[in-house]
Amino acid sequence: MLGLLYILLIGLLGHINTKQALAAPIMYNGEGDIRESDTSVTPANLAAAGEDAYEPDNNRSEALLIQMDSIPQDHTLGTRSDEDWYQVKYSDGAGYIRIGATGPIRFEDFDQGEPAMLSESDPPGPGATLVEDVHILPHYGMKGRKDKTLYFKIMSLSDNPIVYRLSVVSERPLADVGVPTSEIAADEYLYSIASGDLRTLFDVTRLRMTTEQVTAIRDDLFGQTKPFQPKIAFRPWPDEPDEQSELKLVQRMIGGSLDPDLVQAFVVTCEENNRLFVVVSAHQDLSLSAGAKAAFIKKVKGAGKMTHGKSPKSTFNPVVASGVLLIAFIIALVLLKRKKLNQHSG
């Protein structure tokens, strides 16, 4: 299901004193970035000693109910493939499933009884005590559902016992808020301002904005106050093949439409902390020329129309393809029959 991403998109939990938490670094996002842990991610006892106090929770019928912003829970996975089951109510609102583990784990959620999302974390990297894993818990799209419960399970991928801390929280620490590149931050910011997506705006600014604030920014950037959906994703311009271009703190972005009169460009300024980027300011780029607009439109049309967050649409049509194959099969049968009749008459 959508959201338990950016899938896709990052988690963990804890219940110990601050000094003990800061003494246990964790690997951020499983990409080798080491930072100090907080009380929400560090188990009270990092040694896998004793049995899990929350057992039995080994299958769906025994799934343990976790409430939003409840006290973090410490659990133990004894052997490889050992698994713990949980449930959380969508009615609690949007939030995050946060996990801090001493070893590699497998996370799988079940939306309306069907496997919806699967991820596997790496072991803690060099110098790290824990590995973190986080999953977004959306609450949209739940209206009209009879069952507003999400089930998920956590499984060991290690031959050694694993201790982990689990919680469902409505907010992440500000140090965890951000996206991997400034290019993504700039695109998500412009799209969210245009559409009024307050949740994503927080993820790319670390700021809680009101609808009124977003409306004022939208009027300044796009010249209109009503929310709208940009038809074309925003991308850097001019094109820069340099691998570091997506990490530049100042991004020049172009997009929004393939109509020359509606194409817009912006200068978006970001800041970076712990290898996460957020937007701090943005304004229209008035240096955008007619030639730059034409070059952008030509390139997008040549690559295939790309909407925000989506890949170019495929021209493959399975129905048409099936029809073509059926016709080809019938023709082959007719030709074969004619050949046999000719041989017989000969």
The per-residue pLDDT for 219 is: 95
User: Is the model's pLDDT at 275 over the cut of 60?
Assistant: yes
The predicted model gives 7-34 an average pLDDT of 42
pLDDT in tens, 243-267: 567 778 999 999 888 888 888 999 9
The predicted model gives 116-141 an average pLDDT of 77
Angle of CA points 202, 207, 211, to nearest 5°: 75
Contact partners, residue 34, CB within 8 Å, separation at least 6: 25, 26, 27, 28, 125, 127, 128
The per-residue pLDDT for 339 is: 59
d(CA 129, CA 36): 10
Ranges 94-108, 149-163, 189-203, 228-242: which has the least confidence: 228-242
In whole angstroms, how large is the CA radius of gyration of the chain?
26
DSSP class of residue 171?
Answer: -
User: Is the model's pLDDT at 5 over the cut of 90?
Assistant: no
Which of the four pLDDT bands, split at 50, 70 and 90, describes residue 11?
Answer: very low
pTM of the model: 0.57
The per-residue pLDDT for 135 is: 81
Residue 30's nearest CA partner among 134, 160, 109 is 134
DSSP class of residue 62?
Answer: G
Greatest mean pLDDT among 51-55, 141-145, 235-239: 51-55
Residue 287 · residue 279 · CB < 8 Å:
no
The predicted model gives 70-96 an average pLDDT of 85
Amino acid code (one letter) for 101: A
Residue 8 · residue 109 · CB < 8 Å:
no
Contact partners, residue 316, CB within 8 Å, separation at least 6: none
The per-residue pLDDT for 191 is: 93
User: Is the model's pLDDT at 316 over the cut of 60?
Assistant: no
* Average pLDDT of every residue of the chain: 77
Provide, rounded to the nearest whole percent, the portion of the chain with pLDDT above 90. 27
More confident residue, 100 or 39: 100
pLDDT in tens, 207-247: 989 999 999 999 999 999 999 988 888 888 876 555 567 77
